[in-house]
Chains A and B, each alone.
Chain A
Amino acid sequence: MLNNLIELSLRYRTLVIVLFITICVFGYRAYTEIPVDAFPDITPKQVIVYTESPGNSAEDIEKLITYPVESALSGMAGVKLIMSNSIFGLSYVSVFFEDDMDIYFLRQLVSERLSSIDIPSGWGKPELGPNTTGLGQVFWYQVKDTTNKFSLRELKEMQEYIVSPLFKSVSGVEEVVGWGGDEKQYNVLIDTKKLQSFDITYDDIIQALQKSNQAAGGQYLEFNREQYLIRGAGLYKSLDDVRNTVIKSTQGQAVTIGDISEVKEASAPRFGAVSIDAKEAVMGMVLQRSGTNAAKVVEKLKKKVQTINTALPSGVSIDAIYDRTQITHKAVNTMTSALLSGVVLVAIVLFIFLFEFRSAFIVIISLPISLLIAFLLMDYYNLSANLMSLSGLAIAVGMIVDGTIVIVENSFRLLHDKPDSSKFEIVSEAAKEVATPVTFAVLIIAAVFIPLLSLDGLAGKLYTPMALNIVFVMLGSLFVALVLVPVLVFLLLKPSKSAENVVMKAIKKAYTPILLLALNNAKKILALVSVVFVILAYLLTLQGREFMPELNEESIMYRVIAIPGTGLTQSLQTSKDIEKYILKNYPDEVNSVLSMIGRSEKGETAQANYMEILLTLKDGIKDLPKLTKQMSEDLEQTFTFVQFVPTQPIAMRIEELLEGVKAELAIKIYGEDQKTLDSISKDIQSAISGVRGLERMEVETQLGQAQIKITPDYLALARYGISVDEVMQVIRNGIGEESVTQKIEGVRRFGIVAKIKDSKKSIQAVKNVTLRSKSGKLVTLNQICDISITQGASFIKRENLSRYMVLSMEIEGRDVASFVNEADKIIKQNVKMPAGYYIGWAGDFKNMQEATQKLMIIIPITLFLVILLLYTAFNSLKKAMIILLNVPFGFIGGIIALIISGIYLSVSAIIGFLAIFAIAILNGIVLVSFIDELRAKFPDVELKTLLKDATLLRLRPVLMTAFTTLFGILPLLYATGVGSEIQYPLALVITGGVISSTLLTLLILPSTYMLFYKKEH
């Protein structure tokens, strides 16, 4: 079949050329069109249901909202995990689904279920969270007022009613979330003393407000053949309308809102704030719809900024704070430059080895064409160009040319050897000779990487694009090698005088004696190498492990956590102090500091004690890690009352996605009672505090939120003739400022709040809030309720319908896996768990563990596949084994490289080993197949001589493939840009592996072959 393909393409040369030109054109188009992103989308299939329930406590929200939502969603098909967080004023339920399900279908299912949930009226309505990924925050901006003319309230209004709608109109934008500023509302400040004076109740006021603010349509009448619409325009137009609202009237005398209260514009209670350079600000975040191209969305957003700026009042403009494309470009640039320099290096290597322009050209041209085919396939399979997928290409650059090299080299040799035959025949023969090993080599590389596709979870999402791309580009290269290369060889290659160049001659001269030595001492060398391998393999098990090296986003960000229950004003002050401190002490490095305090408008679960501080850095900072470290230390020493956790914008979101744990390692303690959970967490803390490597421990204290608990006293209520409902109404509307109606100004709506004057001035003031019963009795809240101050939950987290508490930790100077082993043992020995309470490890570590377990299954399967392929190719198990023996030799270099550089064994490094696996086998195939060929041709020659000759003859292609692979990967090793650190372990392992595998292939493979076939011969 392969032979026919080669024949056919050689025969229809023009057609082949045209075909490849077309492929190149479409490939280029695909290259420019595929979505570009920093990371592959690692967000799990997740639907978020959040319910805003302003003013309500975590306990009540859990009981009345979260639990019903959770139980309604728990029975759905494909649900993997349900997590929830109930905090003050918000219920947040996140449902994780199996990854293969369609997100729109899932959202549909969830919203169907939501309609059946019964939540008490006035407690909010469950809503679906925005359909975006964890990396969805593509664009952050500030609504900046350079004139200082506008108040925060006005800026917020602009953000909500001018900026946000315009950004939302950009295709690919799912949601625009505002953060910071004050929301306008109209306060009707009720003087409760006047309730007695005017003989009304609180409820009367609310009723009056609600009933007055109405509009109605009265259909139409016809007059003089024309239609006149009748319209009842009763909506409030001005604050005077509110003031003049009649509460009741007796004998023609009206009691109006204005009589009993003061009506004025005010700010709604808020849960978050933003501060930029020690000044409060209003910002927004644009969320990208999942499945859209981040780069394109941002590009469109930036264009839209101009439109928005013209719509805003003069002096106010949109100022970009953070733009995801910056990091995306940086990451993609790192990879593309690695790819490009790889291509150049490979070209140079080829030229040096071939020393002939035409053959070098053929090999080099196969490189971009294979890459373009890969882009075409990426486009077809909706794969985005990102750090991982591009790195797949970069890894493969060296291997792409292998097939072509073998074919070109063989043709070159045959052309030289058989000057009499027709060119068509020579090329055809040369190609056919090596077609099978080349095909199998490529298939084996694919086989090595294909099992990676079955990885699931985070590892799967990260490394699947890489594996896929390697497979794509290898298939592309195979296609190029079998179809295009013979045609190009036929058209371009000429018989050359000397196939040997100076470099090769020198290498051969040095190599021959070593090879002979190796062949003579076959057994000894094999034994030695085996011992070395065993020792190294043992050392590798001692090497530290981690899931993924940290991505360097070239930015500094902190999560700052104050004690639970900290007020927003205090947090704002803390943020401002931190901002001032940073600006004062790092004027040369930091341009601006942004703090985001509490939570934004939608679906965030942070409380007022939580701050995120992002630094905008100046260009030209040399040592970012050093700066980060120094700054962290400085801040920690200066602001001792809060905790600083250094992070980065994307890393932070990814951390949050890791099952709601924002730490690399965490213990989840499950159980019902928060106090028990709290005490268990304390026990665990004291038990493991001495374990080596523990840098920081942080318990998410769920308790600690001070509450003023108002419990109705039924007897007292009965005495005064007041119902619980009335009390709760006063608490909800009068103290809690829930709006009773809305003032509609154009499309803008602002709440009208019947607030009891001075009710929130002090704790005493709450107790003294006065109610009036319908019969006229006057009572204070204190008289009819039991008012106590207690410490309650500040949030309640649940997983699969069970409460849990998180104890997160940071490990330094030690690998996580061994730490977990030790700590787990200590906890089991020393911490007593009551029945119904148990712990589980979570965070990054869990992903690593899952990935490792999966790899333990995948690697044997891969091995089996490869053996199967090798057996098919050579029809001999013995030879398959000889080639496989090459693999440990390859690993030796990889392990040495890892150990020397002290890099942890991460998934990235493991994939490097997989690549070595492929390369080693490739080297083996090239050599073994040639030895076989020679043995068939010269059956009488002594095996040792034959092996020597074969190895020397094959030296050039073996070295060439090795060097191309090596130089293809080198740029990744020396890359410094964003994302380079993720690929570093991989590049390191491959570099070490390629060197050792090539050296050992050239020395030990002939020796093993001899040991295996000595008797036969």
Chain B
Amino acid sequence: MNKFLLLKLTLTATLFATNIPVEKVQMQIFNRSVELNAQIIQLSNAQQSITSLVAGHLEKYYVKPAQFVKEGEKVALIESIVVSKMSADYLALKEQLNATGKNYKATKNLYEKGMSSMQELNNQEIKRSEINAQLTALKSQLETLGIKADKLTSATANFTLYAHSSGTVSALLKPLHSSLSVSEPVISIVKNQAYYVKSFLPLEYANKVKVGDKIVVDYADRKIITHITQIMPKVDELTQRVIVLSSIDEKVSDMFIDVYVEAVLYYSKSFKHLAVKKSALSFFNNEWVVFVPSQNSEKSTDEEENSEIPYTLKVVKIITEDEKYVAIDGLDRDEEYVSDKSYYIKSALLKSSLGDGD
């Protein structure tokens, strides 16, 4: 297809020291790609913090930073007055419940014997239910904190923090023996395989991009393929660029977050257009031109050899370009054009217009 047509070469060889290659205008697919700046990020749900549910005093960490933890694993120990009070209350209420239970039984016996009034019995019943309700509430609270109330035998201030999901400990957020308030994050855990690439696109490219387009990032000499999952509706105000999120396909772990990387965006929408080789272009009289062999050159050269240059120029409009080809308007499909060394033809044309006659 893209082979030199040797038709004109016999003729041009007499004219030019160098052979002028001729090719035909062809449709070309312009699979465009753009280089971008990108950043490796983790979306906010991928990074989790373990918070303390109670205020207290941080006694001990069971984990170290960068340690992998499984869900339910102990991560920290907190000494909390709240827990201590709750557990003490629980035990006390339990005692109370026992006592009211006994009281109720006794009152019931008396009632059956007619020694107590119905009202008395009802009062006892209400009191027992009340205490039981309090106890159940407290128990459920304790259980929320991960304390098994049933097993409590004595009051305790210890509150153990467990990992609520598996991941890597990314930071211990509070120093040891510091006081904690309620719902303060203590440890942050990074969930694995939740990296994203945040690419910054100039506006002109962003219009043409679609969800699902491929972005390849260059991460520490590794090419990582991602696909666009989201085009953010709001531009990054700082850089004035459109942000595109793409998720990393492979199972990649151990990436450094927030690092800037180089990315290449490939448009999935392919663009087809008539194209010539880039080497065919020449800038002539303020316009881009491509040289084409003259139509009548074969006839005329018989009589006046060498006196005329067997090429004419055609003005073209550049639509787009890639490394090797330029999409142009102004030439027809399969039209022959000079694909290289247009400089020599331009020289010959300009020279002859200087009136270098004999």
Chain A interface (Cβ < 8 Å from any Cβ of B): 193-194, 196-197, 562-563, 566, 570, 577, 638-643, 682, 685-686, 689, 696-699, 701, 704, 706, 720, 764, 775-780, 783, 789-791
Which residues of B have CB within 8 Å of A682? Answer: 353
> How far is A196 from B321 in the complex, measured between Cα atoms in Å?
27
Q: A640-B17, A778-B241 are in contact. Are A697 and B260 (CB under 8 A)?
A: no
Q: Is the beta-carbon distance between B241 and A194 smaller than 8 angstroms?
A: no
CB distance from A677 to the nearest CB of B (A): 15
Q: A196-B200, A566-B343, A642-B347 are in contact. Are A685 and B355 (CB under 8 A)?
A: yes
**Contact among B37, B283, B347, B355 for A697, CB-based, below 8 A:** B355
> How far is A689 from B343 in the complex, measured between Cα atoms in Å?
26
Q: Is the beta-carbon distance between A570 and B343 smaller than 8 angstroms?
A: yes
> How far is A640 from B347 in the complex, measured between Cα atoms in Å?
8
CB distance from B307 to the nearest CB of A (A): 12
Which chain B residue has the least Cβ–Cβ distance from A581? Answer: B17
> How far is A790 from B17 in the complex, measured between Cα atoms in Å?
29
CB distance from B40 to the nearest CB of A (A): 12
> How far is A380 from B260 in the complex, measured between Cα atoms in Å?
81
Q: A643-B351, A697-B354, A789-B283 are in contact. Are A196 and B239 (CB under 8 A)?
A: yes
Q: Is the beta-carbon distance between B357 and A685 smaller than 8 angstroms?
A: no
> How far is A779 from B37 in the complex, measured between Cα atoms in Å?
12
Which chain B residue has the least Cβ–Cβ distance from A700? Answer: B354
Q: Is the beta-carbon distance between A563 and B239 smaller than 8 angstroms?
A: no
> How far is A779 from B260 in the complex, measured between Cα atoms in Å?
17
Q: Is the beta-carbon distance between A197 and B260 smaller than 8 angstroms?
A: yes
Chain B interface (Cβ < 8 Å from any Cβ of A): 15-17, 35, 37, 200, 202, 204, 238-241, 260, 262, 283, 285-286, 288, 321, 343-344, 346-348, 350-351, 353-357
CB distance from B269 to the nearest CB of A (A): 20
CB distance from A647 to the nearest CB of B (A): 17
Q: Is the beta-carbon distance between A778 and B240 smaller than 8 angstroms?
A: yes
> How far is A697 from B355 in the complex, measured between Cα atoms in Å?
6
CB distance from A257 to the nearest CB of B (A): 17
**Contact among A196, A777, A780 for B260, CB-based, below 8 A:** A196
Q: Is the beta-carbon distance between B16 and A777 smaller than 8 angstroms?
A: no
- Given A641-B348, A686-B355, 14 more A-B residue pairs with CB atoms under 8 Å apart are A196-B37, A196-B239, A197-B37, A563-B350, A566-B343, A638-B17, A640-B348, A641-B17, A698-B354, A776-B239, A777-B240, A778-B37, A778-B241, A791-B283
Q: List 28 A-B contacts (CB under 8 A).
A: A193-B35, A193-B260, A197-B37, A563-B350, A563-B351, A566-B347, A577-B17, A638-B17, A641-B343, A641-B344, A641-B347, A641-B348, A641-B351, A689-B355, A689-B357, A697-B354, A697-B355, A701-B350, A704-B350, A776-B239, A777-B239, A778-B200, A778-B202, A778-B240, A783-B204, A789-B283, A790-B286, A791-B285
* Most A Cβ at <10 Å: residue of B16, B17, B202, B204: B17
> How far is A696 from B358 in the complex, measured between Cα atoms in Å?
8
Which residues of B have CB within 8 Å of A193? Answer: 35, 37, 260, 262
* Most B Cβ at <10 Å: residue of A641, A699, A779: A641
> How far is A566 from B239 in the complex, measured between Cα atoms in Å?
40
A-B pairs with beta carbons under 8 A, tally: 81
**Contact among B17, B283, B346, B356 for A696, CB-based, below 8 A:** B356
Which chain B residue has the least Cβ–Cβ distance from A685? Answer: B355
A-B pairs, 10 with minimum CB distance? A641-B347, A197-B260, A776-B238, A706-B283, A778-B239, A193-B37, A777-B240, A563-B350, A641-B344, A697-B355
CB distance from B162 to the nearest CB of A (A): 35
CB distance from A687 to the nearest CB of B (A): 11
Which residues of B have CB within 8 Å of A685? Answer: 354-355
Q: Is the beta-carbon distance between B238 and A563 smaller than 8 angstroms?
A: no
> How far is A977 from B344 in the complex, measured between Cα atoms in Å?
41
Which chain A residue has the least Cβ–Cβ distance from B203? Answer: A783
> How far is A643 from B357 in the complex, measured between Cα atoms in Å?
12
CB distance from B342 to the nearest CB of A (A): 11
Q: Is the beta-carbon distance between B240 and A563 smaller than 8 angstroms?
A: no
> How far is A825 from B351 in the complex, measured between Cα atoms in Å?
26
Which chain A residue has the least Cβ–Cβ distance from B346? Answer: A563
> How far is A431 from B314 in the complex, measured between Cα atoms in Å?
90
> How far is A701 from B356 in the complex, measured between Cα atoms in Å?
14
* Most B Cβ at <10 Å: residue of A562, A577, A704, A778: A778
> How far is A642 from B348 in the complex, measured between Cα atoms in Å?
8
CB distance from B176 to the nearest CB of A (A): 25
Which chain A residue has the least Cβ–Cβ distance from B341? Answer: A641
Q: A196-B37, A643-B356 are in contact. Are A562 and B347 (CB under 8 A)?
A: yes
* Most A Cβ at <10 Å: residue of B16, B239, B346, B357: B239
> How far is A256 from B252 in the complex, measured between Cα atoms in Å?
30
Q: A641-B16, A641-B348, A791-B285 are in contact. Are A777 and B238 (CB under 8 A)?
A: yes
CB distance from B206 to the nearest CB of A (A): 13
CB distance from B198 to the nearest CB of A (A): 12
Q: Is the beta-carbon distance between A780 and B202 smaller than 8 angstroms?
A: yes
Which residues of B have CB within 8 Å of A779? Answer: 202, 240
Which chain A residue has the least Cβ–Cβ distance from B286? Answer: A791
Which residues of A have CB within 8 Å of B347? Answer: 562-563, 566, 641-642
Which chain A residue has the least Cβ–Cβ distance from B39? Answer: A197
Which residues of B have CB within 8 Å of A686? Answer: 355
> How far is A790 from B343 in the complex, measured between Cα atoms in Å?
17
Which residues of B have CB within 8 Å of A775? Answer: 238
Which residues of B have CB within 8 Å of A697? Answer: 354-356
Which residues of A have CB within 8 Å of B321? Answer: 764
Which residues of B have CB within 8 Å of A777? Answer: 238-240
Which chain B residue has the least Cβ–Cβ distance from A686? Answer: B355
Which chain A residue has the least Cβ–Cβ distance from B263? Answer: A193
Q: A563-B351, A686-B355 are in contact. Are A640 and B15 (CB under 8 A)?
A: yes
Which residues of A have CB within 8 Å of B17? Answer: 577, 638-641
> How far is A257 from B202 in the complex, measured between Cα atoms in Å?
26
CB distance from A250 to the nearest CB of B (A): 15
Which residues of B have CB within 8 Å of A562? Answer: 347
> How far is A570 from B343 in the complex, measured between Cα atoms in Å?
9
Which residues of B have CB within 8 Å of A643? Answer: 351, 354, 356
CB distance from B12 to the nearest CB of A (A): 10
> How far is A779 from B357 in the complex, measured between Cα atoms in Å?
52
CB distance from B334 to the nearest CB of A (A): 27
Which residues of B have CB within 8 Å of A696? Answer: 356
Which residues of B have CB within 8 Å of A791? Answer: 283, 285-286
Which residues of A have CB within 8 Å of B288? Answer: 789
Which residues of A have CB within 8 Å of B346? Answer: 563
Which residues of B have CB within 8 Å of A570? Answer: 343
Which chain A residue has the least Cβ–Cβ distance from B345? Answer: A641
Which residues of A have CB within 8 Å of B285? Answer: 791
CB distance from B286 to the nearest CB of A (A): 5
> How far is A783 from B357 in the complex, measured between Cα atoms in Å?
48
Which chain B residue has the least Cβ–Cβ distance from A570? Answer: B343
> How far is A701 from B285 in the complex, measured between Cα atoms in Å?
12
> How far is A698 from B352 in the complex, measured between Cα atoms in Å?
10
* Most A Cβ at <10 Å: residue of B17, B239, B260, B355: B355
> How far is A831 from B269 in the complex, measured between Cα atoms in Å?
58
Which residues of A have CB within 8 Å of B260? Answer: 193-194, 196-197
Which residues of B have CB within 8 Å of A704? Answer: 350
CB distance from A149 to the nearest CB of B (A): 33
CB distance from A253 to the nearest CB of B (A): 14
> How far is A689 from B354 in the complex, measured between Cα atoms in Å?
10
Which residues of B have CB within 8 Å of A566? Answer: 343, 347
* Most A Cβ at <10 Å: residue of B16, B238, B241, B348: B238
> How far is A639 from B344 in the complex, measured between Cα atoms in Å?
10
Which residues of A have CB within 8 Å of B16? Answer: 640-641
Which residues of A have CB within 8 Å of B35? Answer: 193
Which chain A residue has the least Cβ–Cβ distance from B281? Answer: A763
> How far is A777 from B239 in the complex, measured between Cα atoms in Å?
4
Which residues of B have CB within 8 Å of A577? Answer: 17
Which chain B residue has the least Cβ–Cβ distance from A192? Answer: B37
> How far is A451 from B319 in the complex, measured between Cα atoms in Å?
72
CB distance from A52 to the nearest CB of B (A): 27
CB distance from B153 to the nearest CB of A (A): 52
